[in-house]
Amino acid sequence: MNETPHALSSSRTLWELVARRAARTPDRPLFLQDGRPGGRTLTFGALHARAERVAAGLYGMGVRPGTVVAWQLPTRIETALLSFALARLGAVQTPVIPFYRDREVGFALRESKAEFFAVPGTWRGFDHTEMARRLGAKGVFEAYDDLPDGDPSVLPAPPSDGTAVRWIYWTSGTTSAPKGVLHTDRSLLAGGSCLAHALRPSPDDVGSIAFPYAHIGGPDYTVMLLLYGFPAVLFEQFALPDALASYRTHGVTIAGGSTAFYSMFLAEQRKQPGVPIVPSLRLLAGGGAPKPPELYHAVISEMGVQLTHGYGMTEVPMITMGSPDDSPELLATTEGRPPEGMEIRIVDGEVRLRGEAVCRGYLDPGQTAEAFDEDGFLRTGDLGRLTETGHLVLTGRLKDVIIRKGENISAQEIEDLLHRHPAVGDVAVIGLPDAARGELVCAVVERPPGAEALTLAAATAFLRAEGLSVHKLPERLEVVDALPRGETLRKVLKYELRERYAGT
């Protein structure tokens, strides 16, 4: 078969895409995973064949089209097999990040009304099976090394409607209770297609999935692999420098995940300047959090690889992406351009979206009504503007605007400038309640190893020299060894900082 990636992207369902790729390149590797002698490999053909057997096993357990199945599993081959087996059946699956515990997991199980729950047993010292029983979960089964198995001849026909809701993803819940985000096969296919066509990989590339497969980035990235027919290394537990051996062994050419991942790779590179930490690496790519321009320039100059950053969220896995054709200035200062089919509208500074990759809404109809405007555009809560070239520049979050004496101050603007200071490893700028000013500006700085602690006077002098308006200067500075972060894409949890420093 001679189908191009663009032809494959016309698939109506994820299972149809799997079948078409398996027919085209059955023996090419899809997933590579270390952790056992010689590592493990799953080919495109094996994904199709083994997922059908797992689907048959699930069918024997009582899973049917439309059955809600939750799974909380680490990033490994078996997790992908289970997920695609559920896609083959047309079940509704709700992935849960493996680091979540009773509060978040219980919420997801209750809200989704899950009839089955797949867990890894005891993983990284935590007994997920016991938690599931404690929460009263239904249909609990372990799916780590062993998966359900059966004869595919018992299976009903694969699903053909890619517009039915078959995925419930969960927002991070860093500021409130998580929201159940409703996706279809088509919305996930659209997001992955946009990522693939922006990065323009080739069959000779080797990617990497160092983030939880249960994140919305899991199917996003896997769709790209299926479209272009190249493999990715899976990391069940990711940490640097330990993971570098796998990157080198497999000749990874595309790495990343989010801004925090870029910083981790850069920190490793600085241990041996001029010696590439992964000689085969040509591209860092990701999204999920703002990218300071200074970080882009540091990666380019010190690592000697390209960096293309994008913009996405649980509700819309792919919104914009930097392209290898973009100029360094655009790659440093923007989030890239939207793909064909993604409409961006700026309303009172807020970024709003409409397109096939946009979710269908939320489990709670009231949340859906609040999230979409009268023209069907999703309100993102992000602030931004479009350049003359159509590139998107994000300037902060609506909730991240600090209102000091009636003046709006962008936290991101201050963060981007402070990132240039050598005594700043990372930084989060927050607004704290203040009786006289409404809010005051507080910068929380993560100190790099071996650096002197930054002072408020030094920080404000630096910001003045960088041209920041006086009314935006921080009135408070806190220096920490490590900023609090989420476990998925390592985003800074600003709500924890607000709780920590409010009233102190």
CATH number at residue 445: 3.30.300.30
Count the domains in the chain. Answer: 2
Q: Determine, yes or no, domain membership for 294.
A: no
Rounded-to-integer distance, Cα 412 and Cα 394, Å: 9
The C-alpha R_g of the chain, in whole angstroms, comes to 23
Question: Residue 174's pLDDT is what?
Answer: 44
Q: Which of 186, 207, 239 is the last residue of a domain?
A: 186
Question: Residue 443's pLDDT is what?
Answer: 96
Q: Determine, yes or no, domain membership for 310.
A: no
Q: At a CB cut-off of 8 Å and minimum separation 6, what does 271 contact?
A: none
Q: Which of 186, 214, 236 is the last residue of a domain?
A: 186
Question: Residue 7's pLDDT is what?
Answer: 66
Question: Residue 354's pLDDT is what?
Answer: 97
Residue 283 tokens, joined: 């591209």
| Residue stretches of the chain with pLDDT short of 70 | 1-7, 35-38, 172-177, 406, 487-489
What is the bridge-based pairing of β-strands 306-313 and 283-286?
Answer: parallel
Give the H/E segment covering residue 232: strand 232-234
Rounded-to-integer distance, Cα 468 and Cα 497, Å: 23
Q: Determine, yes or no, domain membership for 225.
A: no
Structural domain for 14, as ranges: 5-186
Q: Determine, yes or no, domain membership for 295.
A: no
Q: Is the peptide bond before 241 cis (omega within 30 degrees of 0)?
A: yes
Q: Determine, yes or no, domain membership for 41.
A: yes
Edge-to-edge strand order for the sheet containing 316-321? 254-257, 283-286, 306-313, 316-321
Q: Determine, yes or no, domain membership for 100.
A: yes
Q: Determine, yes or no, domain membership for 412.
A: yes
Tokens 């005891």 belong to which residue? 122
Q: Determine, yes or no, domain membership for 360.
A: no
Residue 196 tokens, joined: 């693939």
- Domain CATH number, residue 27: 3.40.50.980
Question: Residue 206's pLDDT is what?
Answer: 98
